[in-house]
Amino acid sequence: MSPLERAPPPHRRARSKKPVPRQDRLTQRTLFLRRMRKSLKPGLWLIGLGAVFVIGAELFRSLPAAAPQPAAAVAPHSGFGLATLGADLGLRISKVEINGAGSLDPAVLDTAIGVKPGDPALGFSLGAVQNRVAQLGPVQSVTVERVLPGTLVVDITERDALAIWQTMQDGHVQFVLIDKDGAVIANQDAAAAKRREPGLLLLSGGDAPKFAATLLAELKTVPVVLAHVVAAQHVDGLRWNLILKDHAVVKLPGSDEAGAIGQLAALQASMQLLDRPVEDIDLRQPGRLIVRPYAPPAPPAGTNQKNGAKP
């Protein structure tokens, strides 16, 4: 075979090149924002540190230099402390929300709280407000909460009135409310309480509050008797007289008064004794019932009692 007739060299396959991924070009806006974020980071750190320094300095300045002054002596708007700083930022009381104060005098309660709309939200002590409100007579417990930016919430639980006690103070008759422990509930209007709760009994006797809870508990177990009772008198520190709606008096014994009240309920069921026009019902002696009716009216003056004729 001649050189000219040599077979052609085998064809070499060209290597396939992978396509180069197309890179998205960043827009000028994106590049600008990235540069701004990078440049702002040190500035934000400086601003944050500056705010911490200012607040810390104001807190330090608000601390008393010597002995602490009483809360009443510190004016709520004085100085340029944290309260003023917060007020300048808009932290002012816009609402005082009071819950559970059904019988408290609103003016007395407002004075005890001592905070009104417009005052700096950080310019008073929650503990001081709580202590002042807790000292009011009808208050059993109180919680005070500051809800920023501008709400003060005062939640009050009042003491339940057990009865009205008639007593003497400085030679004058006074009507006061007592609780279940026999303690006087101060700063309360007994007449207003009676209008709110018509079932409150009137008690009399120097030591009546001490024994009131026991008597009321015994009467509540016998509603048919309690419905006729409007007052109770503790006699000689030993026993009770019950005064009924028609002014009849039920004399209870010094011992086992619960048994006597149960006997009274049985008599009411059998003969409606509590609805009869009698002057008093005496249950002081065990096993005996003495009922005294009203005395007949006296005859008119100048009348012959024997035959009813005038002399």
Q: Which amino acid is at 27?
A: T
**CB of 204 within 8 A of CB of 244?**
no
Mean pLDDT in residue range 108-125: 91
**163-293 under CATH 3.40.50.11690, yes or no:** yes
* DSSP classification of residue 131: H
Q: Say how many Å lie between the first and final Cα of the chain, rounded.
A: 190
Task: Judge whether 134 and 154 are in contact, CB under 8 Å.
Answer: no
Any idea where the domains of the chain sit in the sequence?
A: 90-158, 163-293
- Reported CATH class of domain 90-158: alpha beta
Residue 170 one-letter amino acid: D
pLDDT 10s digits, 119-154: 988 888 999 999 999 998 888 899 999 998 889 999
Is the predicted pLDDT of residue 56 greater than 60, yes or no?
no
**Contact, 114 vs 91, CB < 8 A?**
no
Dig out the tokens for 12 from the structure. Answer: 């070499």
Q: Kindly report the average pLDDT of the chain as a whole number.
A: 79
Residue 18 has pLDDT above 70, yes or no: no
- Indicate if the pLDDT at residue 245 is higher than 60: yes
107 SS3 class: helix
Q: How confident is the model at residue 169 (pLDDT cuts 50, 70, 90)?
A: confident
Q: Write out the two tokens for 82.
A: 């944290």
- The mean-pLDDT minimum among 3-17, 168-182, 220-234, 271-285 falls in 3-17
Q: Using the predicted structure, report yes or no on whether residue 219 has a pLDDT greater than 80.
A: yes
pTM for this entry: 0.60
